[in-house]
């Protein structure tokens, strides 16, 4: 459709309205009811300049437009001009586009628009990988694919929380309450057990805290024994995180976490000092942000140790040097808003114009309804349990609905995990989510399984018609596709590219998720209203062309969300 929107904007620009094409483009509306046309242009804003009543303006413009090849009708209704796109031309142009690009429709083939760094997931070693990290993981991964679809080259960074005083605590806890065998056997849950125990014990015995700080200091000074333990704990955590990433199908291009910047921070602190940005207050170094009405950004504590922000500033400079990014995107919970606002400002004060290319993408919280998860208490891999439970529940549904499905286990994985991912991104990401199995796995709701099911339905029609995925249609008769249900599907298909762009502009994978549901609904209405495998070859071919196009686009929309699209379910 956007092709036509552009054509209309071009038509109205210049002599007819004195507005620019861009202005008109953004003023064009899509009427709620197609009786009012495919696009409508409101004339209110022109009234002042032209000193005429808006309905008069609308009428004059319609007269001036006259006959236009791609429009079947142009009319004015009060202050609006309604444009009716020629349906056959619309259908032809959209299906031609989709069926030429095939599986690549909407996805750029070259990634030559520059680099975009995306910092996502970034869990903390030896601490729980919680539901918040799940959101960061799936949102960041989706943004990665969305920007790639637009022709950027993405660099996915897992900025692991692998440095800090918690490692001192863990070392003390390990020495006091655990053993090599136990950690080897139980992995991260043992690390968590002793970490929690440490905190309980430290309340009774504050000396433990000091001991932990001492160990961390030793780590910072390069003490071999404590560093060996640290790296062992890290390895254990990573192994378990990897399992979750594999279930989710998520990958990274870099695992440079906080520790990676240990030897790079001194230079940054020097730079801050040389630029006159550092103020020393009670031994601590900080950058004042009074003018910005923000609390100061702490750079080093009074014992000289660095902070979360120090590492982020250092990492940003490193990434700029290494990747020369067009944008560097950080996906975290909105609780970190202040943190990012502060250090982005510090980069700006350092005189780097690329401060404007740093983007924080905050998301809301996930809460679990009580009893929604049968889980061990204090479970580390809370997340892994959710995913496994989703797969189990999906397996049950498949057993009931389609017990003869050939690759049941694989489909249960794809649908169960897809459902959780989809639910995380269905609403604007800033919104909190109340996790509910009933919603997540509802095959008829606005859910991942619903979209996947619709895709599988399209595949099944194609199978019955012997239409392979890379099928090329010859001579489609577009005139048989001008009924409302078909045209509605076509309009959805046409919007895919602009939806991807909007999703990227707003950092909102939810646009893709909602689009996928809209397209699935339009397709199901089409499927319901029109028999596809009919006698009339012409009609059948034309309708199959729609089915195959929908298959491509649903599958690509799901791909952009990081979700698989099984062909049968
Ligand atoms: N490790 C942090 C946490 O779990 C998230 C890190 C986000 N990325 C960053 N560059 N600060 O809260």
- Is 133 annotated in the active site? yes
State the number of CA atoms in the 13 A half-sphere of 156 facing the CB.
20
CB 332 near ligand 1, within 6 Å: yes
- Is 127 annotated in the active site? yes
CB 237 near ligand 1, within 6 Å: no
Q: How many helices (H) and strands (E) does the chain have?
A: 21, 12
CATH 3.30.1360.70 residue spans of the chain:
2-85
The rounded distance, in Å, linking the Cα atoms of 175 and 193 is: 13
- Confirm whether pTM is higher than 0.90: yes
CB 161 near ligand 1, within 6 Å: yes
The answer to ipTM > 0.85 is yes
- Is 204 annotated in the active site? no
Beta strand 71-77 with 80-85 is antiparallel
CB 124 near ligand 1, within 6 Å: yes
**Residue 531 token pair:** 């028999």
Residue indicated by tokens 């900025």: 159
- The residues pairing with 216 across neighbouring beta strands, listed in sequence order, are none
Which among 5, 87, 127, 551 is annotated as catalytic? 127
CA of 266 to the centre of ligand 1 (A): 21
pLDDT in tens, 110-164: 999 999 999 999 998 877 677 788 899 999 999 999 999 999 999 999 999 999 8
The rounded distance, in Å, linking the Cα atoms of 61 and 58 is: 5
DSSP string, 51-96: TS-HHHHHHHHHHHH---TTEEEEEEETTEEEEEE-HHHHHHHHHH
Domain 2-85 architecture: 2-Layer Sandwich (3.30)
**Residue 567 token pair:** 């062909």
Which among 87, 133, 169, 327 is annotated as catalytic? 133
- Minimum CA distance residue for ligand 1 atom 4: 123
**Residue 184 token pair:** 């080897």
CB 311 near ligand 1, within 6 Å: no
Q: How many residues does the chain have?
A: 569
CA of 448 to the centre of ligand 1 (A): 28
The CATH number of 115-366 is which of 3.40.190.10, 3.40.50.300, 2.30.30.700, 3.40.50.620?
3.40.50.620
Per the CB < 8 A criterion, the answer to whether 149 and 106 are in contact is: yes
Residue 325 burial by CB count (10 A; 0-12/13-18/19+): exposed, middle or buried?
buried
* Nearest atom within ligand 1 for CA of residue 127: 4
pLDDT at site 369: 64
CB 122 near ligand 1, within 6 Å: yes
CB 164 near ligand 1, within 6 Å: no
Below-70 pLDDT ranges, the chain: 1-2, 15, 128, 369-382
The residue among 138, 122, 151 whose CA lies nearest residue 512 is 138
CA of 122 to the centre of ligand 1 (A): 5
pLDDT in tens, 253-286: 999 999 999 999 999 999 999 999 999 999 999 9
pLDDT at site 380: 41
pLDDT at site 340: 98
pLDDT at site 370: 58
pLDDT at site 187: 87
What is the sign of the dihedral through the CA atoms of 43, 45, 51 and 54?
Answer: positive
**Residue 546 token pair:** 């729609």
Cα first-last separation, the chain: 32
For 204-344, where are the E strands, in sequence order?
A: 278-281, 284-287, 297-300, 327-333
pLDDT at site 397: 93
The preferred substitution site among 161, 241, 347, 358 for testing ligand 1, maximizing ligand atoms within 8 Å of CB, is 161
pLDDT at site 1: 59
CATH 3.40.50.620 residue spans of the chain:
115-366
Cβ neighbours of 242 (radius 10 Å): 11
pLDDT at site 379: 42
**Residue 60 token pair:** 């004059």
């Amino acid at each position: 459709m956007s092709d036509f929107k552009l054509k209309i904007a071009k038509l109205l620009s210049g002599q007819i309205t004195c507005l620019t094409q861009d202005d008109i483009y953004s003023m064009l509306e899509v009427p709620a009811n197609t009786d009012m046309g495919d696009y409508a242009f409101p004339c209110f804003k022109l009234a002042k300049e032209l000193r005429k009543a808006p309905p008069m303006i609308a009428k004059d413009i319609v007269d001036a437009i006259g006959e236009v090849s791609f429009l079947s009708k142009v009319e004015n209704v009060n202050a609006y001009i309604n444009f009716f796109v020629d349906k056959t031309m619309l259908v032809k142009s959209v299906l031609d586009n989709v069926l030429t690009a095939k599986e690549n429709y909407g996805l750029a083939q070259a990634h030559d628009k520059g680099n975009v760094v995306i910092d996502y997931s970034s869990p903390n070693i030896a601490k729980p990988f919680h539901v918040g990290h799940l959101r960061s993981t799936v949102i960041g991964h989706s943004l990665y694919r969305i920007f790639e679809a637009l022709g950027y080259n993405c660099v996915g960074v897992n900025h692991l929380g692998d440095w800090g005083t918690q490692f001192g605590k863990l070392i003390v806890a390990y020495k006091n309450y655990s053993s090599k065998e136990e950690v080897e056997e139980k992995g991260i849950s043992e690390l968590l057990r002793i970490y929690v125990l440490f905190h309980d014990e430290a309340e009774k015995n504050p000396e433990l805290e000091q001991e932990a700080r001492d160990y961390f200091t030793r780590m910072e000074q390069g003490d071999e024994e404590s560093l060996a333990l640290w790296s062992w704990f890290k390895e254990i955590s990573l192994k378990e995180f990897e399992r979750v990433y594999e279930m989710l199908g998520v990958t990274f291009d870099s695992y440079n976490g906080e520790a990676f910047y240990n030897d790079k921070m001194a230079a940054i602190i020097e730079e801050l000092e040389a630029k006159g940005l550092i103020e020393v207050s009670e031994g601590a170094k900080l950058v004042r942000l009074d003018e910005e009405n923000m609390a100061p950004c702490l750079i080093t504590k009074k014992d000289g140790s660095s902070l979360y922000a120090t590492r982020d500033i250092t990492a940003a400079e490193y990434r700029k040097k290494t990747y020369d990014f067009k944008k560097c995107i950080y996906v975290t919970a909105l609780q970190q808003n202040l943190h990012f606002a502060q250090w982005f400002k510090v980069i700006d004060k350092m005189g780097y114009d690329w401060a404007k290319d740093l983007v924080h993408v905050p998301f809301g919280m996930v809460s679990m309804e009580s009893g929604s998860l049968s889980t061990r208490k204090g479970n580390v891999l809370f997340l892994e349990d959710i995913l496994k439970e989703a797969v189990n529940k999906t397996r049950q549904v498949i057993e009931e609905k389609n017990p003869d499905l050939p690759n049941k286990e694989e489909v249960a994985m794809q649908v169960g995990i897809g459902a959780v991912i989809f639910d995380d991104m269905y609403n604007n990401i800033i919104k909190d989510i109340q996790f509910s199995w009933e919603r997540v796995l509802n095959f008829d709701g606005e859910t991942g399984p619903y979209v996947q099911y619709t895709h599988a339905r399209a595949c099944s029609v194609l199978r019955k018609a012997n239409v392979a995925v890379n099928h090329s249609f010859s001579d489609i008769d577009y005139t048989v596709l001008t009924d409302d249900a078909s045209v509605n599907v076509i309009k959805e298909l046409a919007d895919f590219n602009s939806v991807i762009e909007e999703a990227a502009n707003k950092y909102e994978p939810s646009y893709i998720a909602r689009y996928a549901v809209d397209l699935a609904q339009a397709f199901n209405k089409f499927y319901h209203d029109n028999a596809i495998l009919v006698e009339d070859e012409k009609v059948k071919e034309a309708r199959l062309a729609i089915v195959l196009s929908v298959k491509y686009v649903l599958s690509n929309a799901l791909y952009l969300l990081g979700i698989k699209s099984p062909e049968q379910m």
